Structure 1
Amino acid sequence: MTGRDGASVAEGRERGREPATGREPADLAIDFVGEWYEVSPDAVFTIGREGDLEIDDNPYLHRRFMEIRQVDGLWWLANVGSMISATVADASGGMQAWVAPGSRIPLVFGHLTVVFTAGPTTYEFAVHLRSPSFLHQPRATDAVGETTIGPVVFTPAQKALIVALAEPVLRRGGTGFSTVPSSADAARRLGWSLTRFNRKLDNVCDKLDRVGVAGLRGGGGRLATNRRARLVEHAVTSHLVTADDLPLLDRLHGSEED
């Protein structure tokens, strides 16, 4: 495994490309803020506040949050934490899974994005697999940036709300971390009252919850306290919103358009 002290892996690496190390690259590698970590099939790779990939000194993040290991030739990502869930999606956004504490998912695509939130901070890292079990073959008719889950239609104002919450992630433009805005901050960004923002946030979460997007509601019908972060995770990994949607924030600022 090569990480923070392996400059040959991190340097000269183009996003989405294998590192030029002068040797055969590992079958699985992880990109986090431009640093690359090669994962050995004979070891358990740990991710968290401590471990092989030390994400951040964030007290809301588990010391050991995730593990990656190979079992019978198949790579697995396991959530070994107790409170935080993660969103995993392929590069197209067509496959998305919510990995709750105690669960695991096979890594079968060539490029996967893993997004999770600890406290106010949202993190993203990419997993690259040289020998994936599944290959995505895009068709000429595939639409880039369209949501793939259910017949969900959002009004311009609802989409602007999603963009306002996802703005820090969309402007980051790669793996790393950012802070999800509070409802008050996002409302100010849109020039809305907090009451209007919360009403539209309820509507957006209800629409996605009805088509099976997990994590937007708590038990007993109560809205989850971390719904903003979960909404951002889903919207970004499914390509429901992209950086191309950022102009919506200025176009609809202060607008009463629904």
Structure 2
Amino acid sequence: MGDLALEFCGEWFDPAQAEDGFDVGREGDLAIDDNPYLHRRFLRLTQEDGIWWLANVGSLISATVCDAGGGVQSWLPPGHRLPIVFPTTSIVFTAGPTTYELTAQLTDAPYHEVRSEDPDTGATTIGAISFTTSQKQLIVVLAEPMLRREGTGLSEIPSSADAARRLGWATTRFNRKLDNVCEKLDRIGVKGLRGGPGLLATNRRARLVEYAVASRLVTPADLPLLDLKDDA
């Protein structure tokens, strides 16, 4: 397999230079932020028998890993690893209120993205799930900081109250639609969106943003939806 390069905030790193694995976290080979919610060492890139592996060496945070086209996505929980096999791989994760995105580029990758264009039906469909305009607005408003940012880096996820205010909605309406969106995605197997003990609302919003951005469920082209007003 080919050479791997990792990019964050416009700066490129060569994981092959690290003899015992390339660590990403609050400390390590790529110290991305002094965020106290971020593990000192969260992700580790290693090469074994010509294959590059991405491992989650943290204990609490998961990462969303996706190909450039958004068609293949994996959730990487603590203690697990997966191979880097696409020319461009997006790595998204959240620590506290901040969401981070890194890009890995692999030369001579064994797999390539297959992209297809779906007809515009007026509703966004992923798998067997369709989203109404207002549900799509909810996803876009939460992801807005990431969608407006150029390239990789870090973004703050708005609170439910701030997101509702941005849309001109009552917070109760926003939370109800957030429940509906998360329930729809949970039904098709998207992990980390179900409520319950130990799963705070902040974590659910963060996971929704990670999934939506990495899978290209929302893109910068959807930002004009924030200016629409509806009666639902």
TM-score of the two chains, using structure 2 as the length reference: 0.92
* CA distance, structure 2, for counterparts of residue 114 and residue 212 of structure 1: 19
Counterpart amino acid of residue 196 in structure 1? R
- Conserved 8 A contact 2:69-2:114: no
**Within 5 A, what are the aligned runs for 1:178-257?**
178-219=155-196, 225-252=202-229, 255-257=230-232
CA pair 221-147 structure 1, distance change in 2 beyond 3 A: farther
Structure 1: 4+ residue segments shifted above 3 A: 141-149, 218-225
Match of 2:49 among 68, 72, 85: 72
- Conserved 8 A contact 1:67-1:80: yes
- Conserved 8 A contact 2:54-2:81: yes
More strand by share: 2
Counterpart amino acid of residue 11 in structure 2? E
Of all paired residues, the percent bearing the same amino acid is: 63
Deviations 1:125-175 (A, max 9, x none): 00000121212244xx53499978421101100000000000000000310
CA pair 224-189 structure 1, distance change in 2 beyond 3 A: closer
Match of 1:86 in 2: 63
Match of 1:33 in 2: 9
Structure 2 alignment gaps of length 5 or more: none
- Tell which structure's C-alpha radius of gyration is larger: 1
TM-score of the two chains, using structure 1 as the length reference: 0.83
Deviations 1:73-120 (A, max 9, x none): 111000000010000000000000000011111101110000000000
* CA distance, structure 1, for counterparts of residue 20 and residue 35 of structure 2: 25
- Conserved 8 A contact 1:216-1:223: no
Aligned length: 228
Higher relative contact order (CA 8 A, sep 6+): 2
CA pair 85-61 structure 1, distance change in 2 beyond 3 A: same
**Within 5 A, what are the aligned runs for 1:114-153?**
114-138=91-115, 141-143=116-118, 149-153=126-130
Counterpart amino acid of residue 5 in structure 2? A
Structure 1 alignment gaps of length 5 or more: 1-25
Compute the RMSD of aligned alpha carbons: 2.2
